[in-house]
A and B are shown apart, each in its own frame.
Chain A
Amino acid sequence: AQKITQTQPGMFVQEKEAVTLDCTYDTSDPSYGLFWYKQPSSGEMIFLIYQGSYDQQNATEGRYSLNFQKARKSANLVISASQLGDSAMYFCAMREGLISGTYKYIFGTGTRLKVLA
């Protein structure tokens, strides 16, 4: 079964608008971490934002914020004021296994975002 689900294979957003990229997850581990990465066409993986399962507040990093709804097991990424350089593939990831010490990072299938001028 998919542990990280990204249901939007592709998204378009107008420059300067906000966009939300969806991510749902599934784990029985009581302690886990949620991450978003950006992958431009070069292939490098760029870390954007992190949310711990026990964090009370939603994480924010500049124009990026993570809408964490623990009961619904969702961790959506919100990009405000989109820029042309935001066009890339975006991956949601979960780190589980903190209790067992295995520290596995599982990735979703990604959402390709295109920012329109």
Chain B
Amino acid sequence: SQTIHQWPATLVQPVGSPLSLECTVEGTSNPNLYWYRQAAGRGLQLLFYSVGIGQISSEVPQNLSASRPQDRQFILSSKKLLLSDSGFYLCAWSVARRKAFFGQGTRLTVV
């Protein structure tokens, strides 16, 4: 069966520090991968999506970047975090017409 792993679950980082959130999918090949951010009590904002290795589409220009070094690995990064980067980050995957499956999320607090 397919599973998605996202870590860490919680992260507190100082302003100006780097960030690396990792997401891996098991049990499927060539998934579409997504990173979303959810501000407290708000909706999900699509940050990046990828349809294949090395193919990254950015939805919102910001302080973050994404990479897909392997078929089932999706990484969200920042060189220098801002206070406004705080939020709940969700990784998701889908295949073709199927529903998106979500990871458990990472709650990031930038202090």
Name the distance in Å between B72's Cβ and chain A's nearest Cβ: 16
By the criterion of a CB under 8 Å from any partner CB, how many residues of chain A are at the interface?
Answer: 24
Question: Count of A-B contacts with CB under 8 A?
Answer: 58
Main secondary structure of the interface of B (DSSP, over half): strand
Query: Does A109 contact B42, Cβ atoms closer than 8 Å?
Result: yes
Give residues of chain A (38-73) contacting chain B, Cβ–Cβ below 8 Å: 43-45, 47, 50, 52
As a 0/1 sequence over residues 10 to 33 of chain B, the CB contacts with chain A under 8 angstroms (1 = contact) are 000000000000000000000010
Q: How large is the interface on B (under 10, 10 to 19, 20 to 34, 35 or more residues)?
A: 20 to 34
The answer to whether the Cβ of B7 comes within 8 Å of any Cβ in the partner chain is no
Query: Does A50 contact B99, Cβ atoms closer than 8 Å?
Result: yes
Report the bound CA distance from A8 to B88 in whole Å. Answer: 22
Chain A residues in 8 Å Cβ range of B96: 103
Query: Contacting B99 at CB < 8 Å: which of A35, A98, A102?
Result: A35
Query: Does A98 contact B94, Cβ atoms closer than 8 Å?
Result: no
Name the distance in Å between B12's Cβ and chain A's nearest Cβ: 16
Query: Contacting A106 at CB < 8 Å: which of B42, B46, B94, B102?
Result: B46
What are 18 A-B pairs with beta-carbon distances under 8 A? A33-B97, A35-B100, A43-B90, A45-B102, A47-B100, A50-B99, A91-B43, A102-B49, A103-B49, A103-B94, A104-B46, A104-B59, A105-B34, A105-B92, A108-B43, A109-B43, A110-B42, A110-B43
